[in-house]
């Protein structure tokens, strides 16, 4: 049976998406060793997934709550958004799909001009609607109340009407073999259609996505033109990107320093 502290740790993880040993040690006034033991027990029960210095909410079939996703790696997502925006010229058309990282991209595009943004993300539509230089086209379909996403076959059919310059997509998890994964089959169908109908596909995903898993396959890294992340910890993913001619951009890595070190 779970002890009271275990339940409290799980509740913190549900709210924030992840927990750290140091924070929990201070909060519960116990040693880091005790917290590590707690986390290991929760991970053995598959309620959490261990990471360096803490743990993530283990949710192989259900995503972390929207507000928690917004908090997780918020600075890294903002940096990714800024980097992606530099790849988009004025007077371009694009899809932007559901996700807190793609919303960070939308935030960084607000000073662009002549854009046409087609989205199934009501948060993106709300963000850009006040900017007259950006035309916003919103997909129809089933509204997912949890995060403002529009999903379902109606959204799929809607997206098929377009052929755009860029698709800006996120993923809930990235498998070691390069598979891009998500939770909701209805959302995945829309994302697949978005990727199929864009000339340049940009994957925007922070490094925590390498620590997670999800049950539905969106596609593969080889279908992406550019992958923007804060850090890619996987040599295998780097090799896949190189083999498939995928441009890998790491916003949290000083490539000059790396090159000098080598």
Summarize pLDDT for 64-94 with one digit per residue, the tens.
555 556 666 678 999 999 999 999 999 999 9
* Residues facing 203 on adjacent strands: 169, 227
Exposure letters 23-60 (e unless 16+ CB within 10 A, then b): ebbeeeeeeeeebbebbeebbeeebbbbbeebbbbbbe
What pLDDT, on the 0 to 100 scale, is given for residue 27?
Answer: 94
What pLDDT, on the 0 to 100 scale, is given for residue 208?
Answer: 85
Helices 32-44 and 4-16, axial angle in degrees (round to 10): 80
Q: Which residues contact 185 (CB under 8 A, 6 or more apart)?
A: 216
| 124 burial via Cβ count (<10 Å: 0-12, 13-18, 19+) | buried
What pLDDT, on the 0 to 100 scale, is given for residue 51?
Answer: 87
The DSSP letter of residue 63 is P
Q: Using alpha carbons, select from 169, 158, 167, 160 the residue that is nearest to residue 229.
A: 169
Between CA 49 and CA 253 the distance in angstroms is: 25
pLDDT tens digits for range 8-17? 898 888 777 7
What pLDDT, on the 0 to 100 scale, is given for residue 260?
Answer: 44
Q: Which domains are seen in the chain, by residue range?
A: 4-58 (1.10.10.10), 73-257 (3.40.50.1360)
Q: Report, as ranges of residue numbers, the positions in the chain whose pLDDT lies below 70.
A: 1-2, 58-73, 254-262
Between CA 8 and CA 6 the distance in angstroms is: 5
Q: Using alpha carbons, select from 79, 70, 63 the residue that is nearest to residue 172.
A: 63
């Amino acid at each position: 049976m779970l002890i009271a502290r275990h339940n409290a740790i799980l509740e913190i993880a549900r709210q924030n998406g992840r927990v750290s040993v140091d924070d929990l040690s201070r909060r519960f006034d116990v040693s880091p060793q005790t917290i590590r033991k707690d986390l290991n027990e929760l991970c053995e029960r598959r309620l959490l997934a261990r990471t360096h210095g803490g743990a993530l909410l283990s949710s192989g079939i259900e995503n972390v709550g929207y507000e928690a996703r917004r908090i997780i790696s918020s600075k890294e997502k903002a940096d990714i958004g800024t980097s992606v925006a530099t790849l988009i010229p004025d007077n371009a058309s694009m899809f932007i799909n559901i996700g807190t990282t793609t919303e960070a991209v939308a935030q960084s595009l607000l000073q662009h001009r002549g854009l046409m943004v087609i989205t199934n993300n009501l948060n993106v539509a709300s963000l850009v609607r006040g900017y007259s230089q950006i035309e916003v086209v919103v997909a129809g379909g089933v509204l997912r109340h949890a995060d403002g996403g529009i999903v379902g076959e109606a959204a799929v059919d809607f997206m098929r009407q377009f052929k755009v310059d860029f698709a800006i997509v996120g993923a809930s998890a990235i498998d070691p073999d390069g598979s891009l994964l998500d939770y909701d089959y209805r959302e995945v169908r829309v994302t697949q259609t978005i990727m199929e109908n864009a000339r340049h596909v940009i994957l925007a995903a922070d490094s925590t996505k390498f620590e997670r898993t999800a049950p539905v396959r969106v596609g593969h890294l080889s279908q992406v033109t550019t992958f923007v992340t804060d850090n890619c910890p996987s040599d295998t993913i780097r090799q896949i990107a190189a083999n498939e001619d995928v441009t890998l951009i790491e916003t949290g890595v000083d490539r000059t320093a790396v090159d000098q070190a080598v």
